[in-house]
Amino acid sequence: SMSSLETRDVDRDSLFLMTDLVRGDGEPPASVRIRNLSAGGMMVEGDVQLQRGARVTAELRNVGSVTGSVVWV
């Protein structure tokens, strides 16, 4: 049986997927790399300027379109 720490590591997959991040400000979609993904959020990196609180949408393979707010940059 796995400890809760090991289970957390399994649930939070380290991914290297690319996706287009659509921003709510009307700017063109930005290509970003998804570095970390869990039920509670995701970490992306890319050449894109985002402000804390900005609304963004990403299309995730096998999940669909997800929308959230930027918590930190």
In tens digits, the chain (73 residues) has pLDDT values of 555 455 455 555 555 689 999 998 888 999 999 988 888 899 999 999 999 999 999 988 888 999 999 999 9
Residue 43, H or E segment:
strand 41-45
Residue 39 near residue 11, CB atoms below 8 Å: yes
pTM of the model: 0.70
Task: Give the three-state DSSP class for 8.
Answer: helix
Q: Which residues pair with 17 in a beta bridge?
A: 34
Q: What is the largest CA-CA distance in the chain?
A: 48
**Which residue, chain included where needed, has tokens 């959020």?**
41
